[in-house]
Amino acid sequence: MNAEELQEIVERELARQETRRHRVAVCTAAGCLSLGSDRVKAALVRGVEEAQLADEVEVFGTGCLGLCEAGALVQVDSRQADGHVCRCLYEKVTEARAVELVRQHLAGGAPLPSGQLPLDDPFFARQHRVVLQGSGVRDPERLESCLAAGAYQSLQKALTELTPTDVIAEITASGLRGRGGGGYPTGLKWSTVHKASGPKKVVICNADEGDPGAFMDRSVLEGDPHRVLEGMAIAGYAVGAEQGFVYVRGEYPLAIDRLKVALKQAERLQLLGNRIFETGFNFRIDLRIGAGAFVCGEETALIASVEGRRGTPRPRPPYPAVSGLWGLPTLINNVETFANVAEVIRGGGAAFAAVGTERSKGTKVFALAGKIARTGLVEVPMGTTLREIVFDIGGGIPDGKAFKAAQTGGPSGGCIPAQHLDLPVDYESLVQVGSFMGSGGLIVMDETSCMVDVAAFFMEFCRDESCGKCVPCRAGTVQMHSLLQKLTHFEGSEADVAQLEELAELLKATSLCGLGQGAPNPVLSTLRYFRDEYLAHVREKRCPAGVCKGSAPAASAGAPAAEVSP
């Protein structure tokens, strides 16, 4: 494939799309699929065929449309007589509604009067989509559709117009930082691997996404796998690698299927493989499937797992950039990091850096979940305040309840209380308030969540997922969890709280990898902002949120009698 051939495919596909009066995009990402969108899509296809509208209407599956909780979502773009395109977004579509939609909107030309989401709602209007720009436009299972929407054009530009050093310079200028949690500058990492010596190098995409409550990476892989593959190929060219791996967690079967399809399609058109775009650059990508171990998201553990071993971390240095997979210099980046690359190359580093804050550039995708009116995926410029995300975009707390805390950064993160709602969300400011960006899971809790219980929940997670290689983490998470359990059962004392804090510092300082080092964070941050809740459990033997129902008899009058176990 060369530039002209690519252009030809793009034009043919665009011409084909122009002949359609309606383009119907059905969200077929995990959230909507779990609410039956595959059956809705089948009903739409069937309906269109029966109404003999196949020449006028295109029905296709697409990535997450954002408001997962209102799924199954269906987006209809209708071309008016004057060429203007009119968009409707239908929520909670069922098979029966799909039939109606065909009859009224697609055949009759009149949008359904109800069941539409207002597109000027802040949920949609406030977003700035870079990583998710293919969702709703691209059909992840049809390469032509992705090509028409711009896929692989940045790869072509990089290979034919830029040297590897130029590419790295653009990435550095963009200010892009790793979206896998730590926020390490991507340009710096690429340049380290580029400079590392060795005849062979490797690129790995970290698609382990182990943080509970996070589903950004999954959505990108399911909705736009080619964007990630393109980013990896550009990285391979920049650092001098000919082999890439995507390490994807086994819990994501759909993402795995879509990646397999995408790889095959890209190889067939020689967008991956040998002599890509008729240059001297070769790059192939293989899949590796994880098997359910949170610690495998840690880069050295991930490398061990790709090598077919137990996924246990090892001390760094040496860093993977110097000695990684099979001892080769290895570039590891997160899915969302790679998904930003094509945009940097397309528009240039400076344009990318125009969005975001001083030290955190570009956008960030957040997975909004928990006690929030609109759960789903949102992509906003770095530096958007927590208040805007939770209240304007997320619609606030349902059922008239009060906001209590937002948990970010998963098991290594922390809870941010109401007093910090006006915090601009970026890497540094989150750390300042004792939390962590992590991969972008944002779980909102209201007054019915107990912070001690939440801390115990995360500690249990870390205890279960500790690989057991080093003592502070293996034994410390067990101890911290049992202390927290004592508290939630109203059997704890103030000495226990003090010991909890001591252990937290110990784990932070002496654990080998980020799992053990980060595990105390939820405890420390809840202690920092919600110490009175801990103390209520200890001194008054009661849970202010009414979650913990200890086995000890409630001594205080504050505990409702009905909640005391016999």
Partner 1 sequence: MSDPGGSAGHPSGDKRFKMLDAALRRQQYQSDALLEILHAAQELFGFLSDDVLTYVGRGLKLPLSRVYGVATFYNLFTLEPKGAHTCTVCLGTACYVKGAGDILQGLTEAHGVKAGGTTADGQVSVVVARCVGACGAAPAVVFDHQLTGQQTRAAVLERVKAWRSAP
234 lines the binding site for ligand SF4 (CB under 6 A): no
Work out the number of other CB atoms within 10 angstroms of the CB of residue 162.
Answer: 18
CB under 5 to 8 A by kind: which of partner 1, ligand SF4, ligand FES, none does 318 bind?
none
Q: Which of 213, 231, 413, 476 binds ligand FES (CB under 6 A)?
A: 213
Cβ neighbours of residue 18 under 8 Å, at least 6 residues apart? none
Instruction: In angstroms, give the least distance from the CB of 298 to ligand FMN.
Output: 4
Instruction: In angstroms, give the least distance from the CB of 310 to partner 1.
Output: 4
The letter for the amino acid at 206 is N
Q: Which helix (H) or strand (E) covers residue 314, if one does?
A: none
Instruction: In angstroms, give the least distance from the CB of 363 to partner 1.
Output: 19
CB 190 within 8 Å of CB 40: no
Residue 84: exposure state from Cβ atoms within 10 A (0-12, 13-18, ≥19): exposed
Q: Which of 47, 61, 66, 356 binds ligand FES (CB under 6 A)?
A: 66
Instruction: In angstroms, give the least distance from the CB of 336 to ligand FES.
Output: 16
By beta-carbon proximity to partner 1, the closer residue of 245 and 427 is 245
CB under 5 to 8 A by kind: which of partner 1, ligand FES, ligand SF4, none does 65 bind?
ligand FES
Q: Which of 74, 248, 295, 559 binds ligand SF4 (CB under 6 A)?
A: 295
Question: Edge-to-edge strands of the sheet including 414-417?
Answer: 376-381, 363-370, 441-446, 403-408, 414-417
Binding mask 225-254 for partner 1 (x = CB under 8 A): -------------------------xxxx-
Backbone angles phi, psi at 245, to 5 degrees: -130, 140
Site for ligand SF4 in 440-499 (CB under 6 A): 466-470, 473-474
Q: What span, in angstroms and rounded, lies between the C-alpha atoms of 561 and 566?
A: 10
Backbone angles phi, psi at 450, to 5 degrees: -100, 125
CB under 5 to 8 A by kind: which of ligand SF4, partner 1, ligand FMN, none does 516 bind?
ligand SF4
Site for ligand FES in 333-392 (CB under 6 A): 376-377
Site for ligand FES in 139-168 (CB under 6 A): none
Site for partner 1 in 341-380 (CB under 8 A): 367-371, 375-377
Bond into 329 cis (ω within 30): no
Beta strands of 391-460 (E only): which ranges? 403-408, 414-417, 441-446
Chain residues that interact with ligand FMN, rule: CB under 6 A: 178-182, 184, 206, 208-210, 295, 297-299, 332-334, 337, 439, 513-515
Site for partner 1 in 462-521 (CB under 8 A): 465, 467
**Of 462, 473, 448, 456, nearest to 547 (Cα)?**
448
Question: Edge-to-edge strands of the sheet including 202-207?
Answer: 284-289, 243-248, 202-207, 330-334
CB under 5 to 8 A by kind: which of ligand FES, partner 1, ligand SF4, none does 73 bind?
ligand FES
Chain contacts with ligand SF4 (rule: CB under 6 A):
295, 313, 466-470, 473-474, 511-513, 515-516
